[in-house]
Chain A
Amino acid sequence: MNKHEFSVIGQPLPKIDAWAKVTGETRYADDLVLPRMAHARLLRSPHAHARIAAIDTSRAAALPGVYAVITGADLPPVKFGILPVSQDEEALCREKVRMVGDAVAAVAALDEETAERACELVEVTYEPLPALMSIEESLAHPEVRIHEYGDGPNVHKSVALQFGDVEAAFAAADLVREDVFFYEGNTHLPLEQHAAVAHWGPDDKLTLWSSTQTPHYVHRLLAKILAVPAAHVRVIAAPVGGGFGGKLDPFAHEIAACQLSRLCGRPVKIALTREEVFYVHRGRHPVLMWLKTGFTRAGDITGSHLRTWLDGGAYGSYGVASTFYTGAINPVTYKMPVYKFEGARIFTNKPPCGPKRGHGTPQPRFALECQIDRAAEQLGLDPADLRRRIVAEPYTKTANHLTVTTIGLGECLDRVVEASGWREKWRGWNAPPRGRGPVRRGVGIACSSYMTGAGSAVYWNNMPHSGVVLRADRGGGVAILCGATDIGQGSDSILAYLPAEVLGIDPKDVRVHPADTDLTPVDLGSYSSRVTLMCGVAAIQAATRLREVLFQAVAAKLEVDPSRLVARDRKVGVPDDWDRALTFAQAVELGEAMHGVLAFAGSYAPPKRAGKYKGGGVGPSPCYSYSACVVELSVDEDTGMVELHDVWLAHDVGRALNPLLVEGQVEGSVYMGIGEALMEEQVFRKHVHKTPSMLEYKSPTTLETPAIHTILVETDDPEGPFGAKEAGQGPLLPVMPAIANAIYDAVGVRIDEVPITSEKVLRALDLKRQGKPARVGPEKLPLFTFKTPLVVESAFGQPADAITRRPFA
């Protein structure tokens, strides 16, 4: 379908919730108030690792104004975790705390201050244990066990996969590079601190409103954790004030609020402080990486071998998936015929890491793109041309058995090269410096790809990943019920635009009722860039089913064949006899008279394309987005300060359903990438977070954010709704390496770890002046033996599996 045939798709429409958001009417979780509502606080551990010898809550319970005090003993003895393979969390720790910030008790009181005072009166006797604060410490002390499960002492997960003969690939190469990189951890920093309101009603049923990205998973897990029937639990996701992956797990505060409400017979609200949000974390894993890649003289990759060590923190969270993701996506971007991946996630006594925008993939992307830049230099090639040459082939499989459909990366590269003036600004390797005095200018380039939705749910099942119920009203309005959760990306709006397009009505005629486990069909949640594609296809299916019925009814009335009818401009009729067209509302009345209540369901599940090997379930996606990025910046050789001037980012989004929203995702991704590249870091001093406040944890303001030039490339992917692919995560990925590569272009130093602080740039410049290798980055690797790899034949270059053959289609 061509663009001009659409009425809603492709239009830069305001989001349907924009008006509420600019007037302060949007009610986030902490804005909810219920009659008789109590307020809760958690007591958190000051120890990184300690046995709990005793907890005495008597003084807290006696404080006037306190309604209930609970500890782990007041909850069913159930451990939980978002992934079935990592059931290692407790809402309130019973025997042991594993990090500063682990919750041990909770209080509900008439107000927050009373609850806080009561927490201070809870007496906990701890017996401190040795705290393991780094990968090295955790591996060096197998006698200290953070958890009793995993792939070895303090090893949460160890994976090793090999696709083809990597040693032969290196032997066939003209250039083999081995490089070591480190990617520091960082956190989501949503502006909204997590909050929840729980109401355990007199009917013994529970309702939880929460700032969560995954109401469905919270629903399932609450039932298990609280040992109540899931049928009696209702979870409603309030509009989320920023997620980025930080609100994807079930959390202690949600569970405690539910149990406190049950005990005190009142609704209970709990809202985290900013400091607590830093400890709740689930953010970017710190990852140490060793990458070996073979190149031919022309720049083709013969094979690549990646090792990753992830500092997981104290709990599993999504960590098994994170570990696989550090290895899964690199082969999707370029022709990489042979591939080997070894990864290990290590437990430490720090807040648990998990999924943050790009989940597990920004780290190896940084490594690969920085290494390609070096290879281009050694081979004397333009790094843009080298990348253009090796872009993966559409509709093929990768070495690790991922099916790739459309690839717009070639066009993305061409467009950023053109828009940025790369041909003039990049003046070859070791060109004389650009700029005046100590301030040197440089440009850098990098590419990336990302999945549009995970091919598997976090628990194995054959059901839809997303569902929509659509109901047409006699007034001509349409109601959409869908479990999708709007975290600001605009999923509610997508759920209005797509049915409006199919039915020929205005998005304003569509009311979207999202994310309520009592009312809405399941959508798995706002993660893995899955929502637009999955709920979008489901919504199109439901709307198409309604349209068929309306066409039947209208065709009977107009005495024409239904195939001649179209729906547009809030009317249904025959295009060349439009005067007789009926209004959409009349069509609904005829349809309801003919068929009864007009309610239709749509379901989506991804095509089943998991690789036929253990671990093949992480990485498959209906389709992949592609990005290319050029950064222009200056480096001050006296201060090490990096100033960004412009970022050009071309993104293959399949189709921009609403270009304003896609641009917003690209701009937000670039911004977040800049923060990760230059300043953001979740680091610890002794056992506590070094910067648990928004002042100390540096993030870019308007002053550090440069002009961002977004270029949208459309490839009309057969898997996506009207051809759309993801936009929310992929555009973050190339930003960090493009910045690192631009710094090298400017001042000739390689910073092989993020964040690239001015201190590191100065250190590298010093080394350069001393005639030493001008590089700052990790110097050593952990002593760790990966398991014997599972050897699978490379699927590189095989034709893609059948397109759009998926369940429920």
Chain B
Amino acid sequence: MNRGPDEPMKARIELTVNGERREALVPVHKTLLEVLREDLDLTGTKHGCELGECGTCTVLVDGEPVLSCLALPAELEGREILTVEGLAQGGRLHPLQRAFAELGAAQCGYCTPGILLVARALLEATPVPTREQVRVALAGNICRCTGYTKILDAVELAALRMAGRTPVATAAAGSAR
């Protein structure tokens, strides 16, 4: 079908997502969020506002949290993009994923991918954060289900496990709190 004269200009972009090189031919104004979800089939990244207000669509770019609804892929060529689909390595869940599942930190689960990625960035920089540091790191991610409590618990549990400071217990560890 023919498009009108105002057909948007398209550009071929090359992105490194979850360690893989991916190409897409997309209108230049398309956001990273849209390209991930619509062109690269990475629907694990969610959207809550498309205005940079809720944190839901957060991905990591070179390890730093970025709101994918405000990022233009054309500016991210050559950078390392990590989405929730890239958190597990070789079929093994990231400790954050395991802790979130075991402690019930994901209720509806819609904000979970964004929060997991912010938490991962936090733990890279601060391996065993205080609860207050976790709170501050996650202050830009809204969750309407959990009251944040089990999310904070899960980040702390994952941090301790990654630091080798706690027995690798399962869900029972969460209920003892």
Partner-binding segment picked from A227-235, A317-325, A697-705: A697-705
Q: Does A672 contact B (CB under 8 A)?
A: yes
Given A12-B175, A24-B84, A708-B149, the answer on whether A693 and B107 have CB atoms closer than 8 Å is no
Known: A699-B144, A703-B135. A28 touches B110 (CB 8 A): yes
Category for how many chain A residues contact B: 35 or more
Chain B interfacial residues counted at CB < 8 A: 63
Residue among B108, B152, B171 making CB contact with A488, cutoff 8 Å: B108
A63 at the interface (CB under 8 A from B): yes
CA distance A653 to B97 in the complex (A): 29
**How far apart are the CA atoms of A385 and B139 in the complex, in Å?**
38
Most buried by A among B93, B103, B142, B148: B148
Q: A14-B171, A660-B150 are in contact. List 4 more A-B contacts (CB 8 A).
A: A19-B101, A24-B45, A24-B84, A242-B110
B122-145 near A? 1/0 per residue, CB < 8 Å: 000000000000111011111111
Q: A563 at the A/B interface (Cβ < 8 Å)?
A: no
Instruction: Report, nearest first, the 7 A-B pairs whose CB atoms are least far apart.
Output: A24-B44, A488-B108, A21-B109, A671-B147, A241-B110, A12-B175, A667-B147
Q: A22-B101, A660-B103 are in contact. Are A694 and B109 (CB under 8 A)?
A: no
For chain A residues 662-684, which have a beta carbon within 8 Å of chain B?
A: 663-664, 667-672
CB distance B172 to A273 under 8 Å?
no
Choose among A273, A664, A694 the residue that contacts B54 (Cβ–Cβ < 8 A).
A694
Decide: A14 near B49, CB < 8 A? Known: A23-B44, A701-B139.
no
Chain A residues with CB below 8 A from B101, complex form = 14-15, 18-19, 21-22
Contact with A along B142-175 (1 / 0, CB 8 A): 1111111111100000000000000000011011
Q: A702 near B44 (CB under 8 angstroms)?
A: no
Q: What secondary structure prevails in chain A residues at the interface with B?
A: loop
Q: Is the interface of B mostly helix, strand, loop or mixed?
A: loop
Asked if A757 is at the interface (CB within 8 A of a chain B CB), the reply is no
User: How far apart are the CA atoms of A14 and B169 in the complex, in Å?
Assistant: 13
Confirm or deny: B64 has a beta carbon within 8 angstroms of a beta carbon on chain A.
Answer: no
Q: Which of B1, B44, B50, B171 contacts A274 (CB 8 A)?
A: B50
In contact, B104 and A660 (Cβ under 8 angstroms)? yes
A193 touches B84 (CB 8 A): no
Asked whether B104 lies within 8 Å of A189 as measured between CB atoms, the reply is: no
Among A193, A244, A661, chain B packs the most CB atoms within 10 A around the CB of: A193
Q: Interface 1/0s, chain A 700-743, versus B by CB < 8 A? A: 01110101100000000000000000000000000000000000
Say whether A21 contacts B149, CB under 8 Å.
Answer: no
A191 within 8 A of B: yes
**Interface assignment of A46: CB less than 8 Å from any CB of chain B:** no
Identify which of B84, B85, B134, B148 contacts A705 (C-beta below 8 A): B148
Let me know if A141 is at the binding interface, CB within 8 A.
no
In the complex where A18-B100, A241-B46 touch, is A667 in contact with B150 (Cβ < 8 A)?
A: yes
Task: Report how far A701 CA is from B147 CA in the complex, Å.
Answer: 9
Query: Is B58 on the interface with A (CB-CB < 8 A)?
Result: no
* A243 / chain B contacts, CB cutoff of 8 Å: 108
Whether A22 and B56, one on each chain, are in contact in the complex, defined by CB atoms closer than 8 angstroms, is no
Q: 27 A-B Cβ contacts within 8 A? A: A11-B171, A12-B171, A22-B101, A23-B93, A23-B97, A24-B45, A24-B83, A25-B44, A27-B43, A64-B4, A188-B144, A189-B144, A191-B48, A191-B143, A273-B50, A660-B174, A660-B175, A663-B149, A663-B175, A694-B53, A694-B54, A699-B142, A699-B144, A702-B134, A702-B139, A702-B152, A705-B147
Binary contact track A19-53/B, C-beta < 8 Å → 1, others 0: 11111111110110000000000000000000000
The answer to whether A14 and B144 have CB atoms under 8 Å apart is no
In this assembly, does B40 line the interface, its C-beta being within 8 Å of a C-beta of chain A? no
Instruction: Report Cα–Cα, A19/B104, bound state, in Å.
Output: 10
Residues on A with C-beta less than 8 A from B53 are 274, 693-695
Taking the nearest CB of chain B, how far is it from the CB of A678, in angstroms? Answer: 14
Flag if B108 contacts A12 (CB, 8 Å): no
| Complex-state Cα separation, A740 to B139, whole angstroms | 25
B171-A190 in contact (CB<8A): no
Residue contact B2 to A64, C-beta cutoff 8 Å: yes
Per-residue A-contact encoding for B1-25, CB less than 8 Å = 1, 0 else = 1111000000000000000000000
Q: How far is the CA of A703 from the CA of B174 in the complex (A)?
A: 22
Bound-state Cα–Cα, A490 to B150, Å? 15
- Cβ-based interface call for A81 (8 A): no
Contact residues in A for B83 (Cβ distance below 8 Å) = 24
Is A165 an interface residue when CB atoms closer than 8 A count as contact? no
B10 CB, min distance to chain A CBs, angstroms: 13
Q: Is the CB of A702 within 8 A of B144?
A: no
Q: Please name all residues of chain A whose beta carbon is closer than 8 Å to the beta carbon of B37 when the two chains form the complex.
A: 31
